[in-house]
Amino acid sequence: MFIAFAGNKAVSQTADFSINIVQGCVPLSGVNFTDISTGGTVISRNWNLGNGTIINNGAATVGTNYLTAGTFNVTLTATFTGGIVRTVTKNVQVHPKPVAAFISNDTAGCITHNAAFQDLSTTSTGTINNWQWDLGAGGSTIQNPTFNYTNPGTYQVSLIVRNSWGCSSDAASKPAYIKVFNSPTASFTSSVNSSCDSPFVVQFNNTTTGAGPITYEWNFGDGSPLSTLVNPSHTYTAYGGDRVRL
């Protein structure tokens, strides 16, 4: 080792540098490295910033951005007056962003509609410990919330999660994901209510109101098969009274 003497005190050349941001979430930008070597005059600096950036004969302060997660080894090779070369390596830790994802098996229904949501978010390191739900008509901070929709409409649902490194995900959003309908009101009219003839045909006119999609089930009251038509007709063949239900 080369030893310089200042007065009666020996001084050795030591390469060193400071880092303004030693860890953070991806993308980690504005990371600067400043040469703080001691023991002499540095006449040349070669930097390897660990992400493919190599700066030969660089300035005393250099910087870069880290666009991927990982541990990056940053090396300064300092050449002092007299040709003495010293090297130092330090680390920058870049944590991953989690990926938000979710699903619901209750995406459509009539008011009041109770929808359950399942968090499917992932993070490559650390754990997810924070959930921010926008359910379209309210919010939640629990992992797997349920929500009652009391008004008809279509609702966008979004989720942002944060991991134990403090890194937040991009928002996972599903437009018009929850569809809530008014309950239909069943009603109908018939072309005729009675006849002295047998058989006779009755045409039923569906006057049901309410938002779709709506399916129908007709019971003509005489033991015949049910109908799912919107406006069915039916032939009655026996005398008597029959109760029709939609």
207-238 residue pLDDT tens: 988 766 688 999 998 999 999 999 999 999 88
Average pLDDT, integer, range 123-130: 97
In tens, the pLDDT along 49-63 reads 999 999 999 999 999
Of all residues in the chain, the percent with pLDDT exceeding 90 is: 81
The predicted structure's pLDDT at residue 6: 47
pLDDT at 4 over 60: no
DSSP string, the chain: --EEEETTEEEE-B--EEES-SEEESSEEEEEEEE--BSS-EEEEEEE-SSS-EETT--SEEEEEE-S-EEEEEEEEEEETTS-EEEEEEEEEEEPPPB--EEES--EEESSEEEEEEE--B-SSS-EEEEEEE-SS-EE-SSS-EEEE-S-EEEEEEEEEEETTSPBPPPEEEEEEEEEEPPPB--EEES-S--SSSSEEEEEEE--BS-S-----BB-SSSPPPB--SS-EEEE-SSS----B-
Is the entire prediction scored with pTM above 0.75? no
The predicted structure's pLDDT at residue 2: 46
The predicted structure's pLDDT at residue 212: 63
In tens, the pLDDT along 160-178 reads 999 999 999 999 999 999 9
The predicted structure's pLDDT at residue 210: 73
